């Protein structure tokens, strides 16, 4: 298995490729979040997912802006990692009958997604800095901070929900 396609022979091409995959990731999250909102039973969790859906739309717009400035177009490349994470969340939600356990599963899945995004946005910001793409680096930094905040909020909600779910067991 090749980790990097032979056409990605310089940092700029890798940077663009990864931005295109990030756009796909954000689009997949936009598709998945309404179901997660629907399946969540905890009001604070629902609100966090609803707020993150609005934020994710902005993240996708930023990526489109960065890609259009860099290449003249904003075409996503399918992100298989995000597709697998979404499938995993769907499986966990389907396999849970208890509301508290389902909420805990939704948080665990959402945190997996956030951690993936934090890693990729961090790398992309670094690439942008190395390539002298200062405006893009600023946008990527802003998104990275928002993803870190979402992860922090999920951790706080999990602290309450996970204790309650354990008492239900």
**How do residues 123-137 score in pLDDT, each as one tens digit?**
999 999 999 999 999
Looking at residue 96, what is its pLDDT? 86
- Asked if 78 and 24 count as a contact pair (C-beta separation under 8 A), the reply is yes
How many percent of the chain have pLDDT more than 90?
82
Reading the block at residue 77, the tokens are: 């490349």
Looking at residue 7, what is its pLDDT? 80
Residue extents of the structural domains in the chain? 11-168
11-168 adopts what CATH topology? Ferritin (1.20.1260)
**How do residues 86-105 score in pLDDT, each as one tens digit?**
999 999 888 888 898 999 99
User: In the predicted model, is pLDDT for residue 1 greater than 50?
Assistant: no
Average pLDDT for 109-117: 97
User: In the predicted model, is pLDDT for residue 169 greater than 80?
Assistant: no
**How do residues 40-86 score in pLDDT, each as one tens digit?**
999 999 999 999 999 999 999 999 999 999 999 999 999 999 999 99
């Amino acid at each position: 298995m090749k980790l990097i396609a032979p056409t990605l022979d310089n940092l700029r091409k890798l940077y663009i490729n990864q931005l295109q995959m990030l756009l796909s990731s954000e689009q997949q999250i936009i598709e998945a979040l309404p179901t997660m909102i629907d399946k969540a039973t905890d009001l604070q969790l629902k609100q966090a997912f609803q707020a993150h859906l609005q934020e994710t739309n902005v993240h996708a717009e930023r990526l489109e802006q960065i890609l259009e400035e860099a290449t003249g177009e904003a075409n996503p490349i399918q992100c298989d990692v995000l597709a697998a994470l979404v499938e995993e969340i769907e499986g966990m939600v389907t396999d849970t009958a208890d509301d508290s356990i389902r909420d805990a599963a939704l948080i665990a899945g959402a945190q997996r997604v956030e951690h993936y995004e934090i890693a990729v946005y961090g790398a992309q910001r670094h690439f942008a800095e190395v390539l002298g793409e200062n405006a893009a680096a600023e946008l990527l930094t802003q998104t990275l901070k928002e993803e870190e905040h979402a992860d922090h909020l999920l951790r706080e909600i999990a602290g309450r929900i996970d204790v309650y779910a354990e008492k239900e067991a």
